[in-house]
Amino acid sequence: MITNAGQKVPNLETGFSDIQGLPLSITMASSADVVCVTYNMHGFNQGCHYLKYLCSVSDFVFIQEHWLYPSNLHLMQRISNEFVCFSSSTMSSATDRGIMTGRPFGGVAILVRSGYAKNCHLVQKADRFIVLKYGDILFINVYMPCKSVGDFVDVYCETLACVSQIVSCIPHRAVVFGGDLNFDFNAGGAILPHFSQFMLQLGLSHTQDFVQVSSMYSYRHASLNARSLIDYFLVSDSLKHNVSSIAILDDGDNISDHLPIIITFVR
């Protein structure tokens, strides 16, 4: 938030304070901290500029909806030469058919700072998720289906089942699970019992209780006057004590309809 005089002041809605353009919780993070962010960029061309900023303050960046075709995934790697990119495109089926109409959609990626990437390897990638392993920790980025998808609940549950199966087959100590869940825990609905069971199976905990604001949302649609909290980080119960802060970043430079969620871990 910027005053008319150009002076940065605390953003009371998100709980962030800006100091020379950087969130307070990030500028104060020590070199031993690990910072992760999840961001639905609503298209690469629209969100690439802001993504560069997020890379400057993060170590692991979970991306949803980059909308890139397989032949253009290299553009994600060009965001920063300090990061290694793991990505997938949902547009493969469209290019295989040779018919490309309408705007592109979907796509996920994880950008990993080079210092961490050397000890990180790809476990599995699909249209809606990417699983990486760093040391004995699994990093899982998801873009879950929205209600407009046909057989919404079935597709949602199938995606959760795929992720759960992969996690069960990989030795690990903890999980960092984040992304656009297209589901608001506060609103409930048909997905709630399925996701609750998924969290129980993987031993995951919520992290939004670390955000000290009265009104939380990560998605907003101005013309519909709609807001909801559908972007999350969930962590293993054993890792929750390592969470030092989490915040929703509301920044005028971000032109996506989603707000990034930033979480900091103390090692």
Residue 245 maps to which CATH number? 3.60.10.10
Could you read off the pLDDT of 132-156 as tens digits, one per residue? Answer: 999 999 999 999 998 878 798 999 9
Tell me, yes or no, whether 196 lies in a domain.
yes
Whole-number Å distance between alpha carbons of 264 and 207:
11
How much is the pLDDT for 112?
98
Tell me, yes or no, whether 7 lies in a domain.
no
Tell me, yes or no, whether 48 lies in a domain.
yes
Structural domain count of the chain: 1
Tell me, yes or no, whether 104 lies in a domain.
yes
Could you read off the pLDDT of 173-230 as tens digits, one per residue? Answer: 999 999 999 999 888 899 999 999 999 999 999 997 777 665 688 988 777 778 889 9
Tell me, yes or no, whether 173 lies in a domain.
yes
Tell me, yes or no, whether 16 lies in a domain.
no
Tell me, yes or no, whether 232 lies in a domain.
yes
* CA 187 to centroid of chain Cα atoms: 20
Could you read off the pLDDT of 243-266 as tens digits, one per residue? Answer: 999 989 998 899 999 999 999 999
Establish how many alpha carbons lie within 13 A of residue 118's alpha carbon, considering only the half-sphere containing its beta carbon: 3
**3 state DSSP class of 135:** coil
Range of the domain at 83: 32-266
Query: Could you say which DSSP state residue 128 is in?
Result: S
